[in-house]
Amino acid sequence: MSVCLSHTHTLTEQNIKTSEIVKQLVAEENAGELQKCFGSRMEFGTAGLRAAMGAGISRMNDLTIIQTTQGFCRYLEKNFSDLKKRGVVIGFDARAHPSSGSSSKRFARLAATTFISQGIPVYLFSNITPTPFVPYTITHLKLSAGIMITASHNPKQDNGYKVYWENGAQIASPHDKGISQTIEENQEPWPQGWDDSLIDSSLLLHDPYVTINKDYFKDIQKHCFHRNINKETKLKFVHTSVHGVGHEFVQSAFKAFDFKPPLAVAEQKDPDPEFPTVKYPNPEEGKGVLTLSFALAEKEGAGIILANDPDADRLLVAEKQESGEWKVFSGNELGALLGWWIFTCWKNQNQDPTAIKDVYMLSSTVSSKILRAIALKEGFHFEETLTGFKWMGNRAKQLMDQEKTVLFAFEEAIGYMCSPVVLDKDGVSAAVITAEMSSWLATKNLSLSQQLKAVYDE
């Protein structure tokens, strides 16, 4: 074991902190912990990588990020003859792990270094962004691929490496196997691979932060149909980003739709990799994550709570009921409401009765079949896919390439694609579109819960 370890160790020692962790374990002869760190390499799957940050080939650290990116880079070179013209986008969330010297930003910069060392342009966001900004940037700038460094709603010690293809959807098979193989073939870090300071003076480094922030919010405005109602609404919204990246982006989305800004949960609005106020930073946990949101909503008289997960690609919604209780909507329930709303808006905009034959909605096979019921009654198409947005994103793109209109896709794990400008779940657009739906319903004296019952009855 010591031979194998010392070899891997010569590769990892560039990061002093992970190197120290390994030396300490060797000195202590802690075979159990060394086995955990070095026993098996992280599997690269269709969601990319996700693991704890720390030392060894089974963890997310500087070395494994470099090796993964080298493999991904070689795989892209095989698949895109114009890779050096088009380039890739890289985004990151606010995660950090001080004891191993790891952070999403550091990983993103190392990945950028790998590509730039091979003459490939990189659009590296200069600051944290929501995950949906990466797939959006790929299609918006016609890039070859994208990487988002995030572990989404996982526990704080974890991080992840999420990969998107040129169509703006998450990679599907067989790309995962191909990338896995090229990672195996490119283990030895390339010269200069560790020195991320080299990229700062490179002409191949671009920062898309300002333009994407502008263009994304302009694009989602196509889904704003009731500006006057939004301006006048008496509804108050509370928003929490659960110590993640969502705060300023949801504020911007509300501004784009002419709303007053939502009330932010002060203790949770700034990114904090320690997630100090929640046991798990996962809104799917429901009420436990919303304790501070409920308190703020009660204090301010707000009727609706919007909660994003830490990388802002999911959305949880709660509404104050007449009884004074709070109803937390399941992913299927909000999917039903958003599907009804987005179709209603489309129908009001489209006077051509034949257009409906090209309209589609999607959901995953484990999600509710409510969209199928609406489709049968209204005359549009419904399709179900395998579980996960990689399937829905790829299918949506195929349909769009055939000149079809994809209005909406969702999965029960509180993921919603409310606009085809992002072929993945997007908690930012979903939050503001939910706000507009709520405001419009309020003008009819209807709550979200009442409208949900009406959808089911229908």
pLDDT of residue 18: 67
Beta-carbon contacts of 265 under 8 Å, excluding residues fewer than 6 positions away, are: 238, 239, 240, 292, 293, 296
Nearest to 290 by CA among 272, 307, 271, 310: 307
- Written as one letter, the residue type at 40 is S
Nearest to 262 by CA among 274, 248, 275: 248
Q: Under a CB-based contact definition with an 8 Å cutoff, are residues 445 and 191 in contact?
A: no
Supply the angle between the helices 133-141 and 209-220 in degrees, to the nearest 10.
90
Residues of the chain with CATH 3.40.120.10: 41-207, 216-329, 332-457
pLDDT of residue 1: 42
H helix and E strand count, the chain:
17, 17
pLDDT of residue 5: 46
Selecting from 3.40.50.300, 2.10.10.90, 3.20.20.140, 3.40.120.10, what CATH number does the domain 332-457 have? 3.40.120.10
Pairing of strands 381-385, 405-411: unpaired
Which residue's entry shows tokens 């090229």?
182
- Give catalytic residues, as residue numbers: 152
Beta-carbon contacts of 300 under 8 Å, excluding residues fewer than 6 positions away, are: 236, 238, 263
pLDDT of residue 26: 65
Blockwise average pLDDT, block size 10, the chain, 458 residues: 43 63 68 66 82 86 94 97 98 90 94 97 98 98 98 93 96 92 93 88 97 98 96 97 97 98 97 94 90 97 97 97 95 96 94 91 88 90 92 96 96 95 97 98 97 91
Q: How big is the CA angle at 303 (ends 298 and 308), to the nearest 5 degrees?
A: 95
H or E stretch covering 316:
strand 315-320
pLDDT of residue 324: 94
- CA separation, residue 133 to residues 72, 221, 357 (Å): 20, 15, 31
CB atoms within 10 A of CB 195: 12
Please tell me whether the overall predicted TM-score, pTM, comes out greater than 0.85 for this model: yes
* Three-state secondary structure call for residue 289: helix
Q: Which fold has domain 216-329?
A: Alpha-D-Glucose-1,6-Bisphosphate; Chain A, domain 3 (3.40.120)
pLDDT of residue 35: 66
Starting from the edge strand earliest in sequence, which strands make up the sheet with 263-264, in order? 263-264, 237-240, 304-308, 315-320, 326-328
Pairing of strands 405-411, 102-103: unpaired
In this structure, CATH architecture of domain 41-207: 3-Layer(aba) Sandwich (3.40)
